[in-house]
Amino acid sequence: MTAVERIEAEMPDRPARARPTPRRILPWLLSVVIGVLCVVPFLLVIAISFGRKIEGAAWQWDFTLANYQRFFVGALWPDEVTFLYLQQLGFSFWYAVIASLLAVLTALPFTLLLTRLSRRAQAAWLVFILSSLSLSEVFIVMGWDILLSNNSGLPALIKSTGLTQWLKDVGWFQTLRDWGLASPRNVKFKTSQFATILTMSYLVWPYAVILLYPALSRLDRSQSEAARTMGAGGWTVARTVILPAIRLPLFGSTLLLFVFLLGTYVAVTVFAAPAQHTTAVAIYSNIRGANLNAPFGATQAVILLLAAGLCLTLGHRLNRWAEAR
Amino acid sequence: MRVLGPLYMAFCVVLLALPIAVVCGAALNGGRSMFFPPRDPTLARFGEFFVSEPVWTQALVNSVIVAVGAALLAVLLAWPVAYLLWSTGSKLSRTLAALGSMPFAVPPIVFGVGLGFFWGFLGGLGAIWAGIFSHAVLLMALPLVTISIGLQGIDRSHLDAAATMGATEAVTFRTVILPQTIPYTISGFFFVLVLSFNEFIVMFFVSASGFATVTLQIFNSLRNGYTPTMAVAAITFIGVSVLVFSAVARWGDLPRLMGADQSRN
Amino acid sequence: MSGLVLKGISKSFGGTRAVDRVNLTFAEGQLTALLGPSGCGKTTLLRMIAGLEAPSSGSLLLGGRDITGLPAHKRKFGMVFQSFALFPHLTVRDNVAYSLHISGASRTEAAETAKRLLDLVQLSAFGDRRIGALSGGQRQRVAIARALAQEPEVFLLDEPMSALDAKLREEMQVELRLLQQRLGITTVVVTHDQREAMTMADSIVVMSNGRVEQVGSPQDIYHHPDNAFVADFIGKANFFDGVTEPGGIRVGPMHLSAKPNFVRGSPVRVAIRPERACLDDEPGENRLSAKVTFVRDLGPVREYHLDTPLGAMVVENAPGEVRKSLVIGDRTEVRLPPEALHLFPDPQAAVAAE
């Protein structure tokens, strides 16, 4: 068939364009599916956060700000003011900030070293990192729990090696007690902020590596080499060439991990003292746990979400402001 | 630096492997309690987990069903979004991609609470299919990213070439785009598989005690303390992760998927 | 009438005009080169011929029939891309047989065609290889075979040699030209390399800024450029700006004898090819004193850079050159034969001169 014949054969087809093609239906269908599955759950949380709990039953739709009032100043306001829930949010932030910073700062040199390896070696390392990244929080907490538990694990090891006695002798034991890391008889990690933050940091450490990896692997090595030829030593190169180049991903990664850690649940319940529990734990106990107050749980979830969003926005602004300078 | 570097990497690995090693060791305990180092080493716990204890075998079956189902569904949801984003780059497609990634970006407990309400209204609470949908939506961001990376790797002139050889858009999709993105689609599938396997917070709110996956089962029995059988579960899961990611590394370009610079080796 | 005809083809991207009212006829069985600097719109024009880009206005006719609205996959003009665009997930054979596979041809037919074409480009032994295992030259042959497999009416090549190294490029130009002549297929090649265009083409279309500057045979375009752009772009040329006066042109302080067919006082650009200037001692018009500023001796060719009252100029392979062995700083005389001078109207030069 020559082209001309082909043209003739196909000419009558041309007005068929008006038919609804998959190209037109697809975006609409997708919008509906994504909208329902990804957005509606969040909208429900927001809607229910204005609902009301009924004693002895579940809850009902309403539009009351009582839940929000309770979160900020307590249920009995104005007669009595409690900041219990704000304090929980404070702990959420405290743990998440320290743990994400710790993870990013320790993952940075590791990732930098990783990107200097051969492609094959990098792939092998990434398998290891990804495997530990995907490992469930329950398993990680289980591992650290065994390691840090008072009867077995590290405290027992410290005692049996005589380290406890030595600490008592040199007087550092008292310092550890002041920090809440020792009982009268031995060092202890459960419950302590140290164990909580350590586990949380461990939880996101592989994420930190994965998040920093693209930026670091794209670092132009010739820039460092250029700095070298101009007489810069290893640390000077890191400070004047590498750090400025990765400031943005470094900051972004910390922020992302921070938001992720706001929702940590198991590590906090296992390692933190009940008085130092977080909003995530409170949400859990309100929705499915002992309290059974779904609207208030939803309120806490909304506030956690808003706080996370606020931090991301602020971080973004700060970054842009720093860029502009 | 030459000595410090490897030393620091070794230190990181030891710390990273420490709790995992402890859990693995604990699986060998003969009694009902977790000790490290294990007492009465035995492999009986493996039998319990895989064969004799219905609680665990059922949980394992559920885990597999949810993970495989969610991975399939996530890939099916992510493909059109990624394709739309790549082929049009329109505002709508960018919005869809952002919304599709949102559940993965927020603290999972918030999305879990939302899904709990959502399925409560739709009558899916406690049903395993709702669990599959939930994980698919939660983890859709992963295949969205891997497939997008794959699509970006396609030389646009390949599409022109196919067109000049008589391929319609549909034929081009089938013969040029799809084959070149299959490794990335499979990677996305496996990422969802592994993360779904290990996720439990969202599943906790969605299952409403209607069913339990392995991680959920462990989560639920946290209060009663650990048993060596749980450690067996942990070993199994680590094994699956290592296997899956090794496969991805073997048949796909793992460094590129993780965003490494292509030009360097 | 057969062949491919473009009528008033234009293409705008946003506010810029990439191709501006192009009228061209590609004669059947001939090889035409679209030649121009990068960004002159030649690739856009080729893509419109292929149907990959829709023209903003104008029409395309193939064998007298309007094909303007026909999409690329219905035109099926075989095309070789700059990057070759070979499918990495298919073998060499499957790449070549791609158009047959998707058009529903039988397996045996596809296999036979692939074999025949691989023979044609001398890659019979490479059918089972992956694209990644081929060298640049082999990839180009595969791309050519693949584009020819569908027996296209028109064969299009977009900078087909740019991915090859210099030596291979020259070989492939000859090979491609021989192949095209053997098949007698209407062919359009886009290139920015005038050497490549002159090696292969029956006819060259010189383009700049989306417009056609000149159409003609390679010899035509070299020896009789229509304007200063063509004279400059094709080969080398020395340029001087001047104004016509009786019997010649005034360039700065000098009068040059020439045959201007312009109104007296018109601003003109004068061009002369480096090999048309003479360093001989023959008597004649337009003798200039010159000082040698640089000598580039390339072996077969010797190039003198001269400083003359008209300005700097380059002389190469000039008659009489062999007898003189000039070095930097030498004084000599250079003769510009009136018949070697090309005169082009140049309004811009006039503005600059005043």
- Tokens 């691989």: give the residue: C118
> What does the pLDDT read at residue A21?
61
Nearest neighbour of A262 by CB, restricted to B5, B107, B248: B107
- Check: CB of residue A10 under 8 Å from CB of residue C74: yes
- Tokens 């080729």: give the residue: C46
> What does the pLDDT read at residue B30?
61
Is the peptide bond between A191 and the residue preceding it cis, with omega within 30 degrees of 0?
A: yes
**Chain B partners of A116 at a C-beta cutoff of 8 Å?**
5
> What does the pLDDT read at residue C187?
95
**Averaged pLDDT for residues A78-96:** 86
Nearest neighbour of B167 by CB, restricted to C77, C88, C102: C102
CB contact under 8 Å between B18 and A143, yes or no, is yes
Distance from CA of B84 to the nearest CA of C (A): 20
pLDDT more than 70, % of chain C = 96
CB contact under 8 Å between B249 and A40, yes or no, is no
> What does the pLDDT read at residue C207?
94
* A 145-184: CB under 8 A from B: 145-147, 152-153
Domain boundaries, chain C: 4-230, 237-353
Strands laid side by side in the C57-62 sheet: C16-26, C4-13, C57-62, C65-66
Q: Does A108 touch chain B (CB under 8 A)?
A: no
Nearest neighbour of C65 by CB, restricted to A4, A10, A14: A4
Distance, in Å, from the CA atom of C279 to the CA atom of C283, rounded to the nearest integer, reads 11
**Chain C partners of A6 at a C-beta cutoff of 8 Å?**
74, 76
Q: Does B226 touch chain A (CB under 8 A)?
A: yes
Q: Does B204 touch chain A (CB under 8 A)?
A: yes
Q: Does B242 touch chain A (CB under 8 A)?
A: yes
Strands C57-62 and C65-66, bridge-based pairing: antiparallel
> What does the pLDDT read at residue B32?
61
Distance from CA of C339 to the nearest CA of B (A): 48
Q: What is the 3-state secondary structure (H, E, C) of A81-131?
A: CCCHHHHHHHHHHHHHHHHHHHHHHHHHHHHHHHHCCCHHHHHHHHHHHHH
pLDDT of chain C along its 354 residues, tens only?
Answer: 468 999 999 999 888 889 999 999 999 999 999 999 988 999 999 999 999 999 999 999 998 899 999 999 988 899 999 988 999 888 999 999 999 998 888 999 999 999 999 998 889 999 899 888 898 889 999 999 999 998 898 999 999 988 888 888 888 899 999 999 999 999 999 999 988 999 999 999 999 999 999 999 999 999 999 888 999 898 888 998 888 888 888 888 888 888 767 777 788 888 999 988 888 877 788 888 899 999 988 888 888 999 998 889 999 877 776 667 788 988 988 888 888 888 888 756 444 444
Strands C31-35 and C186-191, bridge-based pairing: parallel
DSSP assignment of B144-209 equals HHHHHHHHHTS-HHHHHHHHHTT--HHHHIIIIIHHHHHHHHHHHHHHHHHHHHH--HHHHHHHTT
Strands C287-297 and C302-308, bridge-based pairing: antiparallel
Is the peptide bond between B143 and the residue preceding it cis, with omega within 30 degrees of 0?
A: no
Q: Which of B165, B171, B180 to mutate to test the interface with C (most CBs of C within 10 A)?
A: B165
- Tokens 């979160």: give the residue: A71
pLDDT over 50 (residue A15): no
> What does the pLDDT read at residue C264?
79
Distance from CA of A79 to the nearest CA of B (A): 31
- pLDDT tens for residues C73-129? 988 899 999 988 999 888 999 999 999 998 888 999 999 999 999 998 889 999 899
Alpha-carbon distances of B81 from A15, A34, A96, B101, rounded to whole Å: 29, 9, 32, 11
> What does the pLDDT read at residue C344?
87
> What does the pLDDT read at residue A83?
82
Is the peptide bond between B37 and the residue preceding it cis, with omega within 30 degrees of 0?
A: yes
Q: Does A60 touch chain B (CB under 8 A)?
A: no
Helices marked H in chain B: 4-26, 44-47, 54-87, 91-105, 108-122, 128-139, 141-152, 156-164, 169-172, 178-198, 201-207, 214-220, 228-251, 254-257
Nearest neighbour of B9 by CB, restricted to A110, A153, A218: A110
Q: Which of A23, A136, A203 to mutate to test the interface with B (most CBs of B within 10 A)?
A: A136
> What does the pLDDT read at residue C7?
93
- pLDDT tens for residues C240-261? 888 888 888 888 888 888 876 7
* CATH number of the structural domain B64-220: 1.10.3720.10
Distance, in Å, from the CA atom of A127 to the CA atom of B191, rounded to the nearest integer, reads 12
Q: Does A5 touch chain C (CB under 8 A)?
A: no
Q: Does A79 touch chain C (CB under 8 A)?
A: no
Distance, in Å, from the CA atom of A190 to the CA atom of A150, rounded to the nearest integer, reads 7
Nearest neighbour of A27 by CB, restricted to B84, B137, B222: B84
Nearest neighbour of A34 by CB, restricted to B96, B204, B261: B96
- Tokens 């398993």: give the residue: A139
Q: Does A134 touch chain B (CB under 8 A)?
A: yes
- Check: CB of residue A23 under 8 Å from CB of residue A269: no
Q: Does C155 touch chain B (CB under 8 A)?
A: no
**Can you say whether the dihedral through the CA atoms of B14, B16, B19, B20 is positive or negative?**
negative
Q: How many interchain CB pairs under 8 A, B with C?
A: 73
Report whether CATH 2.40.50.140 matches the domain C237-353: yes
CB contact under 8 Å between B215 and A136, yes or no, is yes
- Give buried/exposed letters for C69-80 (b at 16+ CB in 10 A, else e): ebebbbbbbbbb
Nearest CA in chain B to A308: B106
> What does the pLDDT read at residue A10?
39
**Chain A partners of B255 at a C-beta cutoff of 8 Å?**
119, 122-123, 126, 217
**Averaged pLDDT for residues A101-127:** 89
Distance, in Å, from the CA atom of C105 to the CA atom of B8, rounded to the nearest integer, reads 61
DSSP assignment of C188-251 equals EEEES-HHHHHHH-SEEEEEETTEEEEEE-HHHHHHS-SSHHHHHHSS--EEEEEEEETTEEEE
Residue (of A143, A153, A138, A137) closest to A188 by Cα position = A153
CB contact under 8 Å between A3 and C69, yes or no, is no
CB contact under 8 Å between A213 and B237, yes or no, is no
CB contact under 8 Å between C102 and B163, yes or no, is no
Which residues, at least 6 apart from A146, have a Cβ–Cβ distance to it below 8 Å?
A152, A153, B19, B22, B23, B26, B34, B36, B226
Domains recognised in chain A with CATH numbers: 84-149+190-324 (1.10.3720.10)
DSSP assignment of A148-187 equals H-SSSHHHHHHHHTTHHHHHHHHTHHHHHHHTT-B-SSSB
Strand partners, C295: C304
- Tokens 């009465």: give the residue: B40
For C185, the enclosing helix (H) or strand (E) is none
Q: Does A287 touch chain B (CB under 8 A)?
A: yes
**Chain B partners of C89 at a C-beta cutoff of 8 Å?**
179-180
Nearest CA in chain B to A36: B118
Q: Does A61 touch chain B (CB under 8 A)?
A: no
**Chain A partners of B261 at a C-beta cutoff of 8 Å?**
217-218
- Check: CB of residue B154 under 8 Å from CB of residue C89: no
- pLDDT tens for residues A211-248? 888 888 877 777 777 777 777 777 787 777 788 878 88
CB contact under 8 Å between C98 and B165, yes or no, is yes
- Check: CB of residue B259 under 8 Å from CB of residue A217: yes
CB contact under 8 Å between A41 and B115, yes or no, is yes
Interface pTM (ipTM) of the complex? 0.84
> What does the pLDDT read at residue A17?
38
* C 36-75: CB under 8 A from B: 47, 50-52, 71-75
| Spacing of C-alpha B91 from chain mean position | 29
Nearest CA in chain C to B174: C102
Domain boundaries, chain B: 64-220
The mean of the pLDDT values for chain C is: 88
pLDDT of chain B along its 265 residues, tens only?
Answer: 567 888 998 999 898 888 888 888 777 776 666 666 666 677 777 777 887 788 888 999 999 999 999 999 999 999 999 999 998 888 888 999 999 988 988 888 899 999 999 998 898 888 999 999 999 999 999 899 889 988 988 888 999 999 999 999 889 999 999 988 888 898 889 889 988 988 888 998 898 888 889 988 888 877 777 777 888 888 888 888 888 888 888 877 777 777 776 544 3
Which residues, at least 6 apart from B72, have a Cβ–Cβ distance to it below 8 Å?
B136, B189
> What does the pLDDT read at residue A23?
67
The beta strands (E) that lie in C273-350 are given as 287-297, 302-308, 311-316, 331-335, 342-345
Identity of the amino acid at A128: F
pLDDT over 60 (residue A126): yes
> What does the pLDDT read at residue A14?
37
- Check: CB of residue C342 under 8 Å from CB of residue C260: no
Q: Which of B12, B34, B109, B230 to mutate to test the interface with A (most CBs of A within 10 A)?
A: B109
Distance from CA of A37 to the nearest CA of B (A): 7
Q: Does C102 touch chain B (CB under 8 A)?
A: yes
CB contact under 8 Å between C74 and A7, yes or no, is yes
Domain C4-230: CATH architecture, name and number where available = 3-Layer(aba) Sandwich (3.40)
For C31, the enclosing helix (H) or strand (E) is strand C31-35
Nearest neighbour of B96 by CB, restricted to A31, A206, A270: A31
Alpha-carbon distances of C26 from C148, C268, C279, rounded to whole Å: 18, 33, 42
Nearest CA in chain A to C68: A7
How much is the pTM?
0.81
> What does the pLDDT read at residue A63?
83
**Chain A partners of C1 at a C-beta cutoff of 8 Å?**
none
pLDDT over 70 (residue A148): yes
